[in-house]
Structure 1
């Protein structure tokens, strides 16, 4: 699948997932109040966060595909990170609010409507399962966070179905707040982990799986290359990476030698999944302003 086809498929999936979650979240909020289930209300809060993330991801997926211009020379791909950051913050706040309601119910359990819980759980599994199928496989950090949220909600509804089935036959109202706390803790753990990755990308940390030392080692092994310095690697959106470096070649290197070095560098970086590479080449007897920093 080419890049444009992949983008169109990803956008269509995000759109459908957003519309499904928006409609179901409204039903879910009313259903949580109707069944008096804090577990369902916790799922509703998480689905509301998913609606925000899917809406932002849908909008920013198109915005991030805009071509580069004079103001944003690398393009607009980093805008997709805003969706990931906003979603993570919204879900963290929502989860803390749910915990503030669920914990007191451990001491004062309230009886939920088990039949209503089971009905909503079946619908929740169907809706979130369909949404997950449409967005899975996304490669950007924003898409991965959305996938994690939907997977968490799907597992949450499976747990709600299990607990409601037990409550139909056993009077154990304490299971409802316990399930709510477990669901919320699971989501908080994954959101916190992805929030850390998002912040690292904003701070231009080296993407996971890339070893700048190993890259410099391979570049230094090229014939006529004396030294390598100021190698920088960062990511635009968690998928499209950028590399810049400075090679110093021997003083007697000819133009033909330099062309061979450029070709060798291109071959080395060809399979490294870099969207932008900038390699400066200088001679060892030349003044290098970067080397002094």
Structure 2
């Protein structure tokens, strides 16, 4: 009999509410900066508004992914939609890596071809953006266990750091004049490297989930030894361990047993499922029992490559 299993993603509305608050903060600042830029004729304000709009897009992607992940399992998606959040994280992290590479390019261009920076406008724009970025990051702080939310949080942190660089360069230019305009591209390059390092780490996690990799910290040999050392089990083959989502792990294994009678096999499976859950954090285990009939089995999926 087939069973559909739902994911264990955060189904409470709290995460969605916090993402919506972060989205509202980004959109509110975007509108304010556009209005201020038009009234004052400041291109810097309008440019920063466009940047905030891209952040709002990242939050929106995370929110949509979270909403999809809450859908119940069905006949087509028997494991549920929990991986939607991983897909959302992959989209945001890919965009963040592209932004980091662009910042490096822009920093290099400005270092060799300096542009005039209006310090007063820079400080105003920086102060407004910094408040918004910190507020949005603070709102999302409770959901950092989610890769999807972390991808958006990293957008906010990157912006906050960039804003600190903007403010610092503005103050430096006001104090020492245009001669220190090089500070802006140098600090921007440092922030770009920081963003690229962290985004690269997180995107590897997203890809690992989507590639059905075993969870971090999983000890293959220890699991095989436990299964092979179980009373009544003579061999183990076709062992697969993968993540259905960030916080849910599945296992499939074939066990060759000495006594394949139904009652004994059922008791063995139930006991092993409890042990796998308690000792290896396996949320969903499928165990196939086979008789020790002398047939040679393929053990390639048990050996550690």
Pairwise CA distance, 1:106: 0.8
1-structure distance, mates of 2:173, 2:119:
6
Deviations 1:134-177 (A, max 9, x none): 22243232122222222222233233333322222112111112
Q: Is the 8 A contact 1:35 1:114 kept in 2?
A: no
The structure 2 residue matched to 1:269, chosen from 260, 276, 284, is 276
TM-score by length of 2: 0.80
The Cα offsets for residues 190-221 of structure 1, whole Å up to 9 and x where unpaired, read as: 22222222222222121212223222222222
Q: Is the CA contact 1:242–1:276 (under 8 Å) kept in the aligned structure 2?
A: yes
Aligned CA RMSD, in angstroms, stands at: 3.1
Partner Cα separation in structure 1 for residue 53 and residue 204 of structure 2: 22
Cα 1:50–1:226 shift into 2, 3 Å: farther
Aligned residue in 2 for 1:75: 80
Q: Say if 1:292 and 1:36 are closer, same or farther in 2 by CA, change over 3 A.
A: closer
The counterpart of 1:105, out of the listed 110, 114, 121, is 110
Structure 1 segments unaligned to the other structure (5+ residues): none
Q: What aligned pairs does 1:103-252 form with structure 2 within 5 A after superposition? A: 103-138=108-143, 139-171=145-177, 172-250=180-258, 252=259
Q: Residue 124 of structure 1: CA displacement?
A: 2.4
Residue 36 of structure 1: how far off its partner (Å)? 5.3
Matched, 1:86 2:91: yes
Q: CA deviation at 1:128?
A: 1.6
**Structure 1 residues 121 and 292: CA distance shift in structure 2, 3 A:** closer
CA distance in 2, matches of 1:122, 1:243: 51
Hey, what's the Cα distance between the residues in 1 that align with 2:204 and 2:53?
22
- Alpha-carbon distance between aligned partners in 1 of 2:300 and 2:199, rounded to the nearest angstrom: 41
**How has the CA–CA distance of structure 1 residues 78 and 258 changed in structure 2, closer, same or farther, with 3 Å as cutoff?**
same
CA contact (8 A) 1:226 1:284 kept: yes
Does 56-65 or 143-152 show the bigger shift? 143-152
Measured at CA, do residues 25 and 248 of structure 1 come closer, stay the same or move farther in structure 2, by a change above 3 Å?
Answer: farther
Q: Judge conservation of contact 2:31–2:49 (CA < 8 Å) in 1.
A: no
Following TM superposition, by how much is the alpha carbon of 1:245 offset from its aligned partner in structure 2, in angstroms?
A: 1.4
230-239 vs 278-287, which deviates more?
278-287
TM-fit CA distance, 1:291:
6.1
Aligned length: 286
CA contact (8 A) 1:92 1:191 kept: yes
